[in-house]
C-alpha cells in the first residue's frame, strides 16, 4: 500500500495505524468498492492539508491527553445564536459573559443554511458549506471558534447527517430527474415498497408529521422519517457517505471541536426492520471515528441517541473499537423530572446504580433542559411494580408539568399530543417547570424561595453526575417561558419555541444581585461550578455508587477519587426530609462550609448537601 509515500509523516503514521480496519469496514459496507474508498482517503488527506496550524497544534495536544474531556473542569452551555446574541459576531462579543458564567464548552445549535419556513429549527440543512445568512458567514464562524480557542472554550456544532432539506442541491437535482442524485435518497415510483416499510418502521412525529414517506407533485415517493421537507439520505450509497464525511471534515476545519451526530440511530435503512440502531449504523460511526482520528484527532464525536439505555450505551463502541466519545444522558434527564413530580427517587436511584456499573471511560453529557421537548421514555416495567402504568403515568406527568394537577406550581405546554395513544411530550424552561413563573405571578415570596431552591437543587444534582454538565442558555438566570411564539405564524404550531426565547440581556444585568431571581440562580450556579472544578472527586472517571438514605424522597450518591470521598444528598420533596448515613459521617458541607458529624441530617424542602468526608 504505497498511497502514503508522498504524504506528510504525521498524517501517514495516523493513517497506516488505522488503515486495515478502515478499509475492512468500508469494503464490508460498500461491497469492496475500492475506487470509492481511495477517493475518500485522498479527500481525507486534502482536508488534513487544509487544516490550519493552530488546529493541528491542538490535535497534537489532545492526542497526548486523549481523555481531556472527562475532567471535572468542563461546563457546557447550549444556545441558539440568534436568541443569544443575534448573530455569530454577537456571540463573539459575548465571550466575556460566557467565561464569567463558568462555561468552557459552547454548543451552538444548528446554524447552517436552511429554509426559514421549513427548517425544523435548523435541522433541515440546504447547504453544509454556508451559514444561515442572517447569522453570518463561514468566516464569522471561524473567527468565533478561533476566539473561543484563545479563551480555552471548546465549540460543539450539530451535524445533521440523517437527511437534507428538500432545498439542498442534491434534492433539487433529484426532483428534476437526475438519477444519480435520486440514488442519494430513497425514491420510489409507487407505494408498494413504502407500504412495506411502514409495517415495521415507527413514526417519529405521528401528530405533526405522520408516516415515513412523502409523495411529491410528480407522483414519486421519497422517504422522510422526520418531516416532509427533510429527505432521508441513503447511506447504502457510498457517495453519500463520502460526501457527508467531507462535509463533517469541512466543519472540523472551521474550528469545531465537537461534532454532534444528529439522529444517528436512524441513518441506515433496511426493509423489514424498524430502521433504528441497525448493526451497520455502528460500522458507519466507527468509520467516522477512525477518519476523525486520522485527519483531526482533537475533534470529538457526540452521539444524539434519544432512546432507552440498552440502545444508548452501544454507541460508545468497545475499548478496541470505540465509536462516539460522548453520549447524551437522556434517560436520567427524563427521570429527573419524573422524580420531581412524584417526589419518589426510586427510579432515579435505579438508574444511578445502572450508570455506576458502566465503564469509567463512558462520558455522558448531563442536562436538565435543552432545545428539545421532554419525552417520557421511562422504565415502565420497573415503575409498574409501584402501580405506575405507562399511559396513566404519562398523563399524570404532563398534567403536573402543565399545572393541571392540583397543587402543581409548574408551567409547561405539551408537544405532539397524540390522544389516540394517550401520549405527549413536554416543553418549558427549567425555571417555569420548577415553579418560579407561578410564584412570581402570584407574588408569593415563600413559594418563590421554594421554587428557587428546587431549580438550584436540580442543577446541583446535574453537576454531581459523572460527565459534562450542560446548561441551556437562559437557565443560568432562571429565564421563564416565552409565550410570544403563539403570535408568530411559522412557530406557533411548535410548542418547543416556548423554551427557545431570546435571552433577556436586561434580566442578565441582575446576575450579580443575589436578591433578584436572576442573581440568586446565577450566583448559586457559579459557586457550585467553582466547587466542582476544585475537587477531583467530580471527575468523570471517579467511582460512584448509590447511598441508601432510608428515605424515598432523598437521593444519595457517593463519589470517590484518589483519596477524596464525597457524599451528596438531594431532597426531591417540598417538605423537610431526613437523610440517613451509612454509619457516622464526618466531613465538611462544601456549599455552606458547615462541619458535619452524625448519623443523619435534615434537608430543607428541595435542599441538597455536598459533604466532603474527612475519612476519620
Residues noted as catalytic: 262, 304
Pull the grid cell for residue 595. Answer: 462541619
What does DSSP assign to residue 584? E
Q: How far is CA 165 from the centre of its chain?
A: 22
Q: Of how many residues is the chain composed? A: 616
What torsion, rounded to 10 degrees, do the Cα atoms 158, 327, 497, 421 define? 130
How many Å apart are CA 34 and CA 36, to the nearest integer? 5
164 Rama class: left (phi>0) / alpha (psi -120 to 50) / beta: beta
Helix/strand/coil (H, E, C) string of 90-140?
HHHHCHHHHHHCCCCEEEECCCEECCCCCCCCCCCCCEEEEECHHHCCHHH
C-beta separation of 133 from 114 below 8 A: no
Question: CB-based burial of residue 42 (10 Å sphere; 0-12 exposed, 13-18 middle, 19+ buried)?
Answer: exposed
How many Å apart are CA 366 and CA 47, to the nearest integer? 32
How many Å apart are CA 171 and CA 118, to the nearest integer? 14
For 65-88, letters b (16+ CB in 10 Å) and e give eeeebbebbbbbbbbbbbbbbebb
Q: How many CB atoms lie within 10 A of CB 116?
A: 8
Q: What distance, in Å, lies between the first and last C-alpha atoms of the chain?
A: 62
Nearest to 301 by CA among 240, 256, 333: 256
Pull the grid cell for residue 424. Answer: 405527549
Nearest to 105 by CA among 300, 319, 349, 324: 300
Q: SS3 for 267?
A: coil
Pull the grid cell for residue 261. Answer: 451526530
Q: SS3 for 87?
A: coil
**DSSP secondary structure string for all residues of 168-195:** SHHHHHHHTT-HHHHTTS-EESSSHHHH
How many Å apart are CA 247 and CA 249, to the nearest integer? 6
Amino acid at each position: 500500500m504505497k498511497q502514503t509515500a508522498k504524504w506528510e509523516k504525521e498524517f501517514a503514521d495516523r493513517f497506516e495505524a488505522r488503515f486495515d480496519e478502515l478499509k475492512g469496514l468500508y469494503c464490508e459496507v460498500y461491497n469492496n468498492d475500492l475506487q470509492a474508498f481511495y477517493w475518500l482517503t485522498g479527500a481525507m488527506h486534502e482536508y488534513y492539508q487544509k487544516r490550519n496550524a493552530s488546529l493541528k497544534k491542538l490535535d497534537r495536544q489532545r492526542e497526548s491527553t486523549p481523555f481531556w474531556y472527562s475532567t471535572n473542569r468542563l461546563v457546557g452551555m447550549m444556545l441558539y445564536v440568534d436568541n443569544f446574541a443575534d448573530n455569530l459576531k454577537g456571540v463573539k462579543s459575548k465571550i466575556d459573559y460566557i467565561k464569567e458564567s463558568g462555561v468552557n464548552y459552547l454548543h451552538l445549535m444548528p446554524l447552517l443554511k436552511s429554509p426559514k419556513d421549513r427548517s425544523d429549527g435548523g435541522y433541515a440543512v440546504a447547504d453544509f458549506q454556508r451559514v444561515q445568512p442572517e447569522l453570518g458567514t463561514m468566516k464569522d464562524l471561524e473567527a468565533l471558534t478561533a476566539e473561543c480557542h484563545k479563551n480555552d472554550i471548546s465549540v460543539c456544532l450539530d451535524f445533521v447527517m440523517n437527511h437534507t432539506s428538500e432545498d439542498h442541491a442534491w434534492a433539487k437535482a433529484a426532483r428534476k430527474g437526475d438519477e444519480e442524485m435520486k440514488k442519494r435518497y430513497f425514491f420510489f415510483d409507487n407505494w408498494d415498497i413504502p407500504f412495506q416499510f411502514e409495517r415495521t418502521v415507527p413514526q417519529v412525529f405521528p401528530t405533526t408529521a405522520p408516516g415515513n414517506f412523502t409523495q411529491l407533485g410528480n407522483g414519486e415517493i421519497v422517504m422522510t422519517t422526520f418531516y416532509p421537507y427533510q429527505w432521508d439520505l441513503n447511506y447504502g450509497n457510498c457517495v453519500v457517505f463520502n460526501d457527508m464525511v467531507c462535509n463533517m471534515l469541512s466543519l472540523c476545519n472551521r474550528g469545531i471541536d465537537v461534532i454532534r451526530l444528529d439522529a444517528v440511530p436512524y441513518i441506515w435503512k433496511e426493509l423489514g426492520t424498524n430502521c433504528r440502531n441497525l448493526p451497520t449504523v455502528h460500522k458507519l460511526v466507527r468509520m467516522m471515528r477512525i477518519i476523525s482520528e486520522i485527519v483531526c484527532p482533537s475533534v470529538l464525536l457526540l452521539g444524539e441517541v434519544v432512546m432507552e439505555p440498552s440502545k444508548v450505551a452501544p454507541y460508545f463502541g468497545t475499548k478496541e473499537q470505540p465509536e462516539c466519545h460522548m453520549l447524551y444522558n437522556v434517560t436520567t434527564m427524563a427521570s429527573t423530572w419524573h422524580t420531581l413530580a412524584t417526589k419518589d427517587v426510586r427510579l432515579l436511584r435505579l438508574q444511578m446504580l445502572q450508570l455506576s456499573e458502566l465503564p469509567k471511560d463512558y462520558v455522558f453529557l448531563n442536562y436538565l433542559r435543552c432545545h428539545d421537548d421532554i419525552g417520557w421514555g421511562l422504565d415502565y416495567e420497573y415503575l409498574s411494580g409501584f402501580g405506575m402504568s405507562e399511559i396513566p403515568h404519562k398523563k399524570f406527568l404532563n398534567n403536573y408539568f402543565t399545572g393541571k394537577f392540583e397543587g402543581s406550581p409548574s408551567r409547561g405546554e405539551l408537544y405532539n399530543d397524540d390522544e389516540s395513544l394517550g401520549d405527549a411530550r413536554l416543553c418549558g424552561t427549567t425555571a417555569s417547570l420548577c415553579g418560579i413563573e407561578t410564584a412570581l405571578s402570584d407574588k408569593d415570596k415563600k413559594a418563590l424561595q421554594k421554587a428557587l431552591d428546587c431549580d438550584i437543587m436540580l442543577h446541583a444534582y446535574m453537576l454531581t453526575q459523572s460527565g459534562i454538565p450542560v446548561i441551556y442558555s437562559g437557565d443560568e438566570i432562571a429565564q421563564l417561558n416565552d409565550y410570544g411564539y403563539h403570535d408568530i405564524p411559522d412557530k406557533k404550531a411548535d410548542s418547543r419555541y416556548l423554551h427557545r426565547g431570546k435571552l433577556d440581556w436586561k434580566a442578565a444585568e441582575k446576575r450579580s444581585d443575589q436578591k433578584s431571581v436572576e442573581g440568586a440562580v446565577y450566583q448559586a450556579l457559579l459557586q457550585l461550578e467553582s466547587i466542582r472544578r476544585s475537587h477531583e472527586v467530580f471527575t468523570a472517571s471517579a467511582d460512584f455508587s448509590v447511598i441508601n438514605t432510608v428515605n424515598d424522597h432523598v437521593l444519595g450518591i457517593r463519589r470517590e477519587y484518589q483519596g477524596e470521598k464525597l457524599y451528596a444528598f438531594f431532597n426531591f420533596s417540598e417538605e423537610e426530609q431526613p437523610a440517613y448515613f451509612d454509619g457516622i459521617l464526618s466531613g465538611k458541607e462544601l456549599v455552606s462550609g458547615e462541619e458535619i458529624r452524625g448519623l443523619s441530617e435534615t434537608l430543607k424542602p428541595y435542599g441538597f448537601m455536598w459533604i466532603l468526608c474527612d475519612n476519620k
